[in-house]
A and B are shown apart, each in its own frame.
Chain A
Amino acid sequence: MIIVFAGLVVVAFLLTHVLPGDPAQAAAGRNATADQVATVRASLGLNDPLIVQFARYARGLLHGDLGTSVFTHEPVMSDIGQVLPSSIELVIAAMVINIAVAVPLGVLSAYRQGRLADIAARLVVVLGAAVPVFWLALILQLVFADQLKILPLSGQLGFGYSVPHRTGIVTLDALLAGDPGAFFDAVSHLILPAVTLAAAFIAVITRTVRSSMLGVLEADYITLARATGASEWRVVIQHGLRNALLPTTTILGMQLGWMLGATVLVESTFNRTGIGAYMVTAVLQDDLYAVIGSILVIGVVFIVANFLVDLLQLWLNPRLRETGRTAAPSGAGDAGTDVPLELAR
Chain B
Amino acid sequence: MSLLRISDLRVSYPGPSGPVEVLHGLDLDVEAGARVALVGESGSGKSVAARAILRLDTDAALAGSIRLSGTELTGLPAKRLRAVRGSGAGLVFQDPLAALNPVRTIGWQIMQPLVIRGVRRSEARRRGIELLGRLGVRDAGHRFDDYPHEFSGGMRQRAVIAIAVIAEPKLLIADEPTTALDVRVQAQVLELLSGLADERHMAVLLITHDLGIVASFAESVVVLRHGRVVERGLTDDIYYRPAHPYTRGLLGAVPRIDADPSVRLATVPPGTAAADAGPGDDPGQPEMPGEKQNETESP
Point out residues on A near B: beta carbons under 8 Å. 219-221, 223-231, 234, 238-239, 242-243, 246, 316-319, 322, 329-331
Instruction: Please indicate the chain B residues that have their CB under 8 angstroms from the CB of A238 in the complex.
Output: 112
Are the C-beta atoms of A220 and B95 separated by less than 8 Å?
A: yes
Taking a contact as CB atoms under 8 Å apart, the answer to whether A230 and B112 are in contact is yes
Decide: A227 near B90, CB < 8 A? Known: A318-B147, A319-B147, A330-B97.
yes
Q: Which residues of A contact B95 (CB under 8 A)?
A: 220
CB distance from B67 to the nearest CB of A (A): 19
Q: Which of A219, A316, A318 has the most CB of B within 10 A?
A: A318
The answer to whether B82 touches A229 (Cβ under 8 A) is yes
- Check A225–B149 contact: CB distance below 8 A: no
Within the assembled complex, what's the spacing in Å between the Cα atoms of A224 and B163? 9
User: Is B87 an interface residue, CB under 8 A from the partner?
Assistant: yes
Residues of B within 8 A of A322 (CB): 149-150
- Greatest chain A CB density within 10 A among B84, B99, B117, B163 is at B99
| Contact, CB under 8 Å: A224 / B160 | yes
Interface size class, chain B:
20 to 34
Nearest B residue to A240 by beta-carbon distance? Answer: B101
Q: Does residue B263 face the partner (Cβ distance < 8 Å to A)?
A: no
In the A-B complex, the 7 residue pairs with the smallest Cβ-Cβ separation, listed nearest first, are: A229-B86, A229-B85, A227-B91, A228-B86, A228-B113, A220-B98, A221-B101
Q: What's the least CB distance linking A39 to chain B, in Å? A: 66
State the B residues within 8 Å of A (CB): 51, 54, 56, 82-87, 90-91, 93, 95, 97-104, 112-113, 116-117, 147, 149-150, 160, 163-164, 167
Q: What CA separation (Å) do A103 and B102 show in the bound complex?
A: 21
With a 10 A CB-CB cut-off, give which of B84, B102, B164 has the most chain A CB atoms: B102
Interface contact B102-A229, CB-CB below 8 Å? no
Bound-state Cα–Cα, A229 to B116, Å: 8
Residues of chain B contacted by A219 (CB below 8 angstroms) = 98
Is there contact, CB below 8 Å, between B82 and A231?
Answer: yes
A247 CB → nearest B CB, Å? 13
Determine if B99 and A229 form an interchain contact, defined as CB atoms under 8 angstroms apart: no
Given contacts A229-B117, A229-B167, A230-B112, contact A224 B102 (CB under 8 A): no
13 CB < 8 A contacts A-B: A220-B93, A221-B98, A221-B99, A224-B93, A224-B99, A229-B83, A229-B87, A239-B104, A242-B103, A316-B103, A317-B103, A318-B102, A318-B103
- Cα-based distance from A253 to B167 in the complex (angstroms): 41
Residues of B within 8 A of A229 (CB): 82-87, 113, 116-117, 167
Contact of A243 with B102 at beta-carbon distance under 8 Å, contacts A227-B91, A319-B147 already known: yes
When the two chains form their complex, are residues B116 and A231 in contact, meaning their CB atoms are under 8 A apart?
yes
Chain B min CB distance to A12 (Å): 40
Most buried by B among A229, A316, A322, A331: A229
